[in-house]
Structure 1
Amino acid sequence: MGEGAVILVRRGDVAIIEIDNKPVNALSTIVRQGILDALTFVKQHSEITAAIIHGKHGRFIAGADIKELASPLESPSLPDVISAIDALDPPVIAAIDGAALGGGLEIALACDLRIASSRSFVGLPETRLGLIPGAGGTQRLPRLIGIPTAEALIASGDVLPAKVARDLGLIDQLADDPLESAIAVARAVTKRRLSKSSVPQGRSDQIARLGFSLSSAHPSEPAVAAARSLVRAASLLPFDEGLQRERQTFLALRESPETQALIHLFLASKAAFKSAQSPKEVARKVSSIVVIGKGRRAHAIAALLARPGLSVHIGYDRISDADVVIDVSTDRGARSSFRKIDAAAKIGAVIASSRSRNVDLMAEWSNRARDVIGLNFRRLSVGSPLVEVVPGSATSPETIDIVLAIVKATSAQAVVTRVPGVVGERISKACRDRSEELRHQKACPTRAIAAALRYFGFSKPAPYLPGRSGHHPERRLLDDLIAAMAREGSALVGEGIISRTSDIDLVLVHGYGFPRIEGGPMWATNSRAATAVQAFDNERRSRAIDRNASSSGDGAPYANAS
């Protein structure tokens, strides 16, 4: 039955619902409709004793189609599909190979048994996009693994490898071939609806007990707070009421500017890893990296690069075998260090420097200009630091691709730029210069300006002083400073320092701590600041008319900011 993204095949009295929506089996409208049609077929054929949902080609379901989040919702919705799974009389098995994320995991939670390969990974990462699971995730997951563990997993948005998920009880079985294993046990499976289950009591956070650490959630973000509240409500509310509250919250968050900003950053991140000048060939595989340098910075860079399981060493001992060599030496010793590396590295190895701003000068010191590239690491202590990738005029597209692939595997954020550091420096300076103008004009309290600079990541966080001023940066002040940053960002693009405005947003968010819920200065200017400034202008004009004093504006719009 069916063609294209979803098909149904029969193995005797077992129905197999196969999802084939390349590249990642996203839950686009055609997939949701296809699954629902297949479930309707199963319901109408009483001879079918069990159904299996699985993804073809080593993929299960990697969540929603992000592009659809910016458009009006189309039917059938994911809750419609999951409701049909839950209502089906024959048992349903999720045969998971690859990613079961977001809506994909919510589909698996609606099934009666979950079998996964050891290659699989699962999670509900919606909070990273300013959303919550909106198809039962906040209500079914705590009924399976308990409130504390479900709350931690949903709030962090982290992904668990299959073995950890199995140890938590989220996955029932591990198998080399989940589909064949599901077929083998299908006739013995009984219905086990989480919608009819109660929340297990007395469970602590089991993830920490298993030695798997989760990312710190952002408690100030609306989605995180909402997710925590909904998970806790699972033990207090009837399932259907909890489901209704979850859906209402999801739909409200979906339209929020914070969520739209986070979706922007997600799409910007994907675009940043695509080299515009890259050839179609896949970059050669990298298995070993050597970092040349001393001190904490060299060790921090090595630790970052080791995240995906690469062999990383510090020092010259293994340089002749390395696929990538990164020089972290001081500027004073950069030339001699670089020439030593050039002489010792094997043919075809990528040679990078994390210090020099002049990649073309480094290439002159080398006999392999095509393999030379600059790297600039910022905020190495955070989960997703920034790595500015700086090609020289002779750097090959393959070298750029190799470096981008490495950075992507570490979960850091890469951005290609012509000169390292200059984007953040100039935008930070533009913000500070504008704040000084406002300070000298006495247009805004000093403590409010200080709070705004902390909010943008341009000064170290500090406890707020008592009193009204400075507790919360004033929105109009924030929009004014964001506009100054955006003007400088536009100049940087015009000068060819960086190619995309969205890359500027990534630099500020990942490299300087600019708040994610603002989406970056370029995004915030386009989506929020213009509206806020217009509203302020309307308010000021209205007040002027009311006072019959059209000349009362004194050029100090933030004089009463607190």
Structure 2
Amino acid sequence: MTAINEVVDLATEGRVAVVTVNSPPVNALSANVRTGIAEAVQKAGADPAVTAVVIHCAGRTFIAGADITEFGKPPKGVPLNEVNAILEACPKPVVAAIHGTALGGGLELALSCHYRVAVPSAKLGLPEVKLGLVPGAGGTQRLPRLVGVERALEVIAFGEPMKAAEAASHGLVDAVVGEGSLKADAVAFAEKLIADAAPLKKVRDRADKLGADPAVFAAFRKANARRFRGFEAPEACIQCVEAAVSMPFDEGLKFERDTIMRLMVGTQSLAQRYVFFAERQAAKIPDVPEGTPTRTIAKVGIIGAGTMGGGIAMNFVNVGIPVTIVETKQEALDRGLSVIRKNYENTAKRGRLSMADVETRMGRFTPTLDLSALADCDLVVEAVFENMEIKKEVFGKLDAIAKPGAILATNTSYLDVDQIAAMTKRPEDVIGMHFFSPANVMRLLEVVRGEKTAKDVIATAMGLAKTIGKVGVLVGVCHGFVGNRMLAQRQREANKLILEGAMPWDVDRVLYDFGLPMGPFAMSDLAGLDIGWSRETSKGETPREILCEMDRRGQKTGAGFYDYDENRVAKPSPVTEKIILDLAAKKGINRRQISDEEILQRCIYPMINEGAKILEEGKAIRASDIDIVWINGYGWPVYRGGPMFYGDTVGLPEVLKVMKEFEGRHGADFKPSALLEKLAAEGKGFKDLK
């Protein structure tokens, strides 16, 4: 064996040269990896004793993609396009031996080999679109030549990998080989190529699958318009595949390269790459380092079988953790379990579960009306009505029932976790675990650290978030924590704007066009206007209260801020418009024309300012944690990077200037935070905070 460099070795097995990459953890295409592969293949190509080459990776995966830590830095080593050209030009058959994942640049390298073999568990894909990019080393040009235009469009523009069997059926993989004998099987495959005098199959020379009707592209755009809304990269991916069809290979490569270079310096890709790292950073807690002991969670208790409790419970049974679920009345318990079963059965109908899986998961539930059944649970999550007195009562009872060392979690959205913890003799075991609705779908879990919460409890909750497929973000105790505290700023301004001159559909349109899934009034109609409202306490002083008094309570009643048809399609309501105009007149408000720019600034800039206050108070560890909350819990468009990233994009001096203008015009709600003023004065952004 010859060491080409510290991460690439070259050895021979009979007449076959084996190039082995060993660059843990994922064999990413760093400068050393690229240079090592290029040198090894050139050396093997020039060796008269070698008649074929196998590219193989040590560890748990084939090359899992580019080394994105090199993005934006001066280039080093051999560029990937040159490595691929060397592979393709090698005078001897080159075989990629794939296990784990061949993603991004890893798949592009494999596409430049003459043949590809893979183990059954391997996955192959081009996920660059998720970073706001297109594949930049021939992926958009070579993949359509192997799998056809339609499948290539899906793989490239969606960024989702395909399994080895499907890859083989489309011609991307030439052979599926043994799970435990990849290298030996790849060498045997290479030897057979030699024995059969097989040709060097250069993907670039293939053209038989490129004869796509231009209508294919138009149909793909139309079918995915909603999915791609606001994103630049999917359209760029489509254009690159169009180039593969319409241009000679080398011109298509140039088009692809020009496209990735343009996107790489754009705001969207910067935002999406920022989010990629921010999500991983959120798991790092300075005073709870990796390796902090955690508590074993083998059984979970859930108090409440309603929408939230049932959804929370599903997360645990999905990963094999049994759940004892408690309700106060049998009909509520039966209804909750029925909803859970229906959710699973609907998933089975879509082919994502078998009916046997449904029964297995339902079998992990122990339903009961007896709170004392939680005595043997390692974690108990309270998901009762959002009322402090009720939650205090529950925790007082839990304290007497739960075993020593059990973690007691509250799913509160707003309330003071420390007050709840004070109802127990073990506040160190109490933590907030704020799931977002629907809890079995939404990725965010706000983990709320109480004043006395033990570090091993925090470490356990954060680790458990990952186990159940959530993005855990640690936050501090304050009203609404991070997400809902900032949301309140937007909601206040939205409600003021519609009395001052805008209509609900104006506000919703501006925020939808900004990239949010829906505006605040459409969201209120969806959730139900009567959440937290009662006829007994209603004062009829806001449009929402008046609408509820008229039994216009949102989509469920066919009318709210909007009118809805039988398919729940919304249209602006003249009833709502009259309510708003009459109320404004009653309050003596002189309505005026309000620009889209003002609507956006009034709704978004106070959120940025509130995020700065959250950072000042230490309720979030870092600005990027706030962004991860908003992206995963509230549908903030990932291509805008989160509210704090967006503030940096606009420029904090500009945000400050507008906030001061609004403060002069609209009062103290717009008073800038001290941190916003400080960073703007220093010419810094939230990204500069340490």
Q: Distance in 1 between matches of 2:510 and 2:33?
A: 45
Report how far residue 260 of structure 1 moved.
Answer: 0.5
Shift of 1:287: 6.0
Residue 196 of structure 1: aligned partner: 205
Instruction: State the one-letter code of the partner of 2:207.
Output: S
Question: After the TM superposition, which residues 299-448 of structure 1 pair with which residues of structure 2 at under 5 Å, given as runs?
Answer: 299-305=310-316, 309-311=319-321, 313=323, 315=325, 318=366, 324-331=379-386, 333-335=390-392, 337-338=394-395, 348-355=405-412, 357-366=415-424, 369-380=427-438, 385-419=443-477, 421-431=480-490
Is the deviation greater in 508-517 or in 374-383?
374-383
CA contact (8 A) 1:143 1:200 kept: yes
Report how far residue 266 of structure 1 moved.
0.9
Counterpart in the other structure of 1:510: 632
Higher mean C-alpha displacement, 446-455 vs 37-46: 446-455
Structure number with larger C-alpha Rg? 2
Q: Distance in 2 between matches of 1:526 and 1:143?
A: 42
1:394–1:118 Cα change, 3 Å: farther
Letter in 2 for 1:326: V
| One-letter amino acid of the structure 2 residue matched with residue 352 of structure 1 | A
Cα deviation, residue 70, structure 1: 2.9
TM-fit CA distance, 1:273:
1.6
The partner residue of 1:498 within 591, 603, 620 is 620
How big is each residue's C-alpha offset from its partner over 1:33-67, in whole Å with a ceiling of 9 and x where there is no partner?
Answer: 11111122122213212222222121222211222
Alpha-carbon distance between aligned partners in 2 of 1:81 and 1:98, rounded to the nearest angstrom: 21
1:63-212 alignment, distance < 5 Å: 63-166=65-168, 168-171=170-173, 172-177=175-180, 178-189=182-193, 190=198, 191-200=200-209
Report deviation, 1:130. 0.5
2:249 counterpart of 1:239: yes
Alignment partners' CA distance in 1, 2:323 and 2:167: 32
Q: What secondary structure does 1:176 align onto?
A: coil
| Partners of 1:194 and 1:102 in 2: CA distance | 17
Identity %: 32
Aligned mates of 2:454, 2:271 — CA distance in 1: 34
Report the 3-state secondary structure (helix = DSSP H, G, I; strand = E; otherwise coil) of the residue aligned with 1:374.
strand
- Preserved contact between residue 476 and residue 532 of structure 1 (Cα < 8 Å): no
Distance in 2 of aligned mates of 1:140 and 1:238 = 12
Moved more, 275-284 or 429-438: 429-438
Instruction: Please give the alpha-carbon distance, in whole angstroms, between the structure 1 residues aligned to 2:378 and 2:18.
Output: 44
Whole-Å separation in 2 of the counterparts to 1:28 and 1:14: 25
Q: What is the letter of the counterpart of residue 255 of structure 1? A: V
SS at match of 1:70: coil
**C-alpha separation in 2, matches of 1:14 and 1:341:** 67
Hey, what's the Cα distance between the residues in 1 that align with 2:294 and 2:21? 29
Correspondent of 2:509 among 451, 467, 483: 451
Distance 1:346 1:383 in 2: 30
User: Bigger CA drift: 349-358 or 52-61?
Assistant: 349-358
Instruction: Please give the alpha-carbon distance, in whole angstroms, between the structure 2 residues aligned to 1:38 and 1:310.
Output: 46
Per the normalisation by structure 2, the TM-score is: 0.66
Q: State yes or no: 1:222 paired with 2:277.
A: no
SS in 1 for 2:136: coil
Cα RMSD of the aligned pairs, angstroms, is: 3.8
Which ranges in structure 1 are unaligned for 5 or more consecutive residues? Answer: 205-213, 466-472, 537-553, 557-562
| TM-score, with structure 1 as normaliser | 0.80
Partners of 2:188 and 2:641 lie apart in 1 by: 48
50-59 vs 276-285, greater mean Cα deviation: 276-285
Counterpart selection for 2:32 from 30, 33, 36: 30
The amino acid across from 1:231 in the alignment is V
Q: 1:492 touches 1:498 (CA, 8 Å); kept in 2?
A: yes
SS in 1 for 2:432: strand
More divergent stretch after superposition (369-378 vs 516-525): 369-378
SS in structure 1 of the partner of residue 288 of structure 2: coil
Note the residue ranges of structure 2 that are not aligned, 5 or more in a row. Answer: 214-223, 327-364, 367-373, 524-561, 563-569, 573-594, 659-663, 667-690
Of 475-484 and 425-434, more deviation after overlay is shown by 475-484
Shift, 1:124, TM fit: 1.4
**CA separation of 1:241 and 1:474: change in aligned 2, threshold 3 A:** farther
Which region of structure 1 is more displaced relative to structure 2, 456-465 or 310-319?
A: 456-465
Does structure 1 residue 258 correspond to structure 2 residue 268?
yes
Aligned counterpart for 2:643 among listed residues 514, 521, 526: 521
- Greater relative contact order, per chain length (Cα 8 Å cut-off, separation 6+): 1
**Distance in structure 2 (CA, Å) of the matches to 1:292 and 1:119:** 39
Contact kept, 8 Å, 2:447 with 2:473, in 1: the verdict is yes
Which segment drifts farther, 412-421 or 474-483?
A: 474-483
1:501 Cα deviation after fit? 0.7
1:118-137: CA deviation from partner (whole Å, max 9, x where unpaired) = 44333211111100111111
**CA–CA separation in structure 1 for the residues paired with 2:137 and 2:48:** 27
The CA deviation at 1:399 is 3.0
1:106/1:488 CA distance change after superposition, 3 Å: same
Deviation, structure 1 residue 140: 1.9
Partner Cα distance (2:240, 2:41) in 1: 29
- 1:139-195 residue CA offsets vs partner (Å, 9 max, x unmatched): 222222222222122222223444554455444314223222212222113432221
Q: Tell me the residue number matched to 1:209.
A: none
Whichever residue aligns with residue 623 of structure 2, its letter is T
Per the alignment, residue 282 of structure 2 pairs with 272
Are the equivalent residues in 2 in contact too, given 1:379–1:386 (CA < 8 A)?
no
Relative to structure 1, the CA distance from residue 500 to residue 122 in structure 2 (aligned partners, 3 Å threshold; closer, same or farther) is: same
Say which SS state the counterpart of residue 28 (structure 2) adopts: coil
SS at match of 1:499: coil
